[in-house]
Amino acid sequence: MNETTLTLRGEHITLDALLKATGWAGSGGAAKQLIAAGQVRVDGAVELRRGAKLRAGQRIEMAGQAVTLQPAGAAT
């Protein structure tokens, strides 16, 4: 599995924004489709809410890729 980290700019990021920020989805519409299809996991559980607020320490997985969120100001 391809693992990476993403440093938050604030307290949280929404799931659809994360998919766009990581390049896993090319648009908001594509992100919505991936989420609705149950292809995204947050902390090991399928997440179907595109507006789910993700915070530092959470791990998101999709299609053999994973990203762990780091708090704002953290070194990557």
Q: What are the structural domain ranges in the chain?
A: 2-70
Q: Which CATH number fits domain 2-70: 3.50.50.60, 3.10.290.10, 3.20.20.70, 3.30.1340.10?
A: 3.10.290.10
For residue 76, pLDDT beyond 90: no
For residue 37, pLDDT beyond 60: yes
The model's pTM:
0.91
Percent over 90 (pLDDT), the chain:
92
One DSSP character per residue, 23-74 reads TS-SSHHHHHHHHHTT--EETTEE---TTPEEETT-EEEETTEEEEEE-TT-
